[in-house]
Amino acid sequence: MTNAIVRPVREALLRAAGSRDLRRRTPAGVRYDATAPGTDTIYYLSPDESSPSGGIRVIYRHVDLLNAAGLKAAVLHEKPGFRVGWFANDTRVLAARDVTLGRSDLLVVPEFYGPGLAALPPAVRKVIFNQNAYQTFSRVPFGATGPGAPYAAVAGLQALLTVSEDNAALLRHAFPALPTHIARVVVDERVFHPGSAPAGRRIGYMPRRRAEEQEQLLHILRARGVLDGWELTPIDGLGEAQTAEALRGCAVFLSFSEREGFGLPPAEAMASGAYVVGFTGLAGRDFFDPAFCTPVAEADLLAFAVAVEQILGRDPATLAAAGQAASKEILSRYHEEGLRADLLAFYATLR
């Protein structure tokens, strides 16, 4: 009798949660006037999300770099007056309802809005900025859509833009008719860099990622005495500068990346001089070089535990040297000048 009552309630709650998620994935209302020439502006749609989000940070950075390079660009939020506040910025931000796009304008739409793309004006020129190809089909049911969903039926779609070689390969395979370009992620060396003093015997990790596997790994390490003399440092809910400071204090960082667009946490940890061990999240294969870190096969908990045990037993100077090498490599590849070049080359193809 209890199950007969509980099951319908649970199913109703799941349906309600799904409906809320779909509403969140419907983009803000965007107006388009086919008779207006436009202002040659690149508008980036963005969710009104106030908590730290690497994807929104990337959107703001794109707009800043485009404006600095002489192109016109702006972030479009749904709520008037909304601006992300967890990192310092003076990015050009507008409310979607205050803007009318014209023929020369371009609308850049995050992959998050995949299920709601039909709500956008058909005639407006569009780019999908897909920062996580593994989320492309989220809330896009196979049985209720046609071949090439969610992009095949999107009028005005010019190209796909993504953030890693890994994701570009997947998108090109799934949507061979759509041009796919890469705009690299930036790891800001002004924020993420090694400290002036040696890191302590601290192990950093992001507690919200693969939480169940984290618990299992930490149980194994503690049971074997591996954590003796080490301090666990969960890093969560911090601003950009605070996160960087925490990472600089960690000699080792555990990566629990999973099906990522790029995988900023381990890259930022490397840039900060930590020795990184763990899952690549697939996209992290772009930069997880065994010369200065230890990638672990996806979901291989035993291999993860063995690797951590071996690493924590190494000479601290050896770990620090590898962390310095990782920092040098990450900061030499993922920088603003490179992103600026990527963006200018990409948007030149759409003019």
Q: How confident is the model at residue 3 (pLDDT cuts 50, 70, 90)?
A: low
Neighbours of 337 (CB within 10 A): 9
Beta bridge partners of 93: 75
Q: What is the mean pLDDT of residues 106-130?
A: 96
Average pLDDT of the segment spanning 115-143: 97
Q: Domains of the chain, with CATH numbers?
A: 13-186+336-348 (3.40.50.2000), 200-333 (3.40.50.2000)
Does 11 have pLDDT greater than 50? no
Residue pLDDT, tens place only, 54-80: 899 999 999 999 999 999 999 999 999
Backbone angles phi, psi at 27, to 5 degrees: -65, 160
Read out DSSP for 19-62?
HHHHHHTSPPP-EE-TTS----EEEEE-----S--HHHHHHHHH
The structure tokens listed for 178 are: 């759509």
- Measure the CA–CA gap between 116 and 22, rounded to whole angstroms: 8
pLDDT of 9 over the 60 cut: no
Contacts of residue 156, defined as CB under 8 A and 6 or more positions apart, other chains included, come to 122, 123, 124, 125, 126
- Asked if residue 296 lies in contact with residue 307, where contact means CB atoms within 8 angstroms, the answer is yes
Banded pLDDT at 348 (limits 50, 70, 90): very high
* Cβ count near 316 (within 10 Å): 14
**What type of residue is 250?**
C
Structure tokens at 184: 């690299």
Predicted TM-score of the model (pTM): 0.92
Give the model confidence (pLDDT) of 224-267 as tens digits.
999 999 999 999 989 899 999 999 999 999 999 999 999 999 99
Q: Report CA torsion sign: 86, 67, 113, 128.
A: negative
Q: Kindly report, residue by residue over 142-178, the tens digit of the pLDDT.
A: 999 999 999 999 999 999 999 999 999 999 999 999 9
Kindly give, in sequence order, each residue whose CB lies less than 8 Å from that of residue 263, ignoring residues fewer than 6 positions away: 255, 257, 280, 281, 283, 284
Provide, rounded to the nearest whole percent, the portion of the chain with pLDDT above 70: 95
H or E stretch at 334? none
**Comparing 10-14, 56-60, 69-73, 132-136, which segment has the lowest mean pLDDT?**
10-14
Q: Evaluate whether 241 touches 233 at the Cβ level (below 8 Å).
A: no
For the cut 50, the answer to whether the pLDDT of residue 12 exceeds it is: no
Percent residues over pLDDT 90 in the chain: 88
pLDDT at residue number 18 = 61
Q: How far apart are CA 201 and CA 185, in angstroms?
A: 29
Is the alpha carbon torsion for 30, 36, 39, 42 positive or negative? positive
For 142-179, letters b (16+ CB in 10 Å) and e give eeeeeeebbbeebeebebbbbbbebbbebbeeebeebe
Measure the CA–CA gap between 180 and 159, rounded to whole angstroms: 6
Q: Could you read off the pLDDT of 75-98 as tens digits, one per residue?
A: 999 999 999 998 899 999 999 999
Question: Does the pLDDT of residue 24 top 90, yes or no?
Answer: no
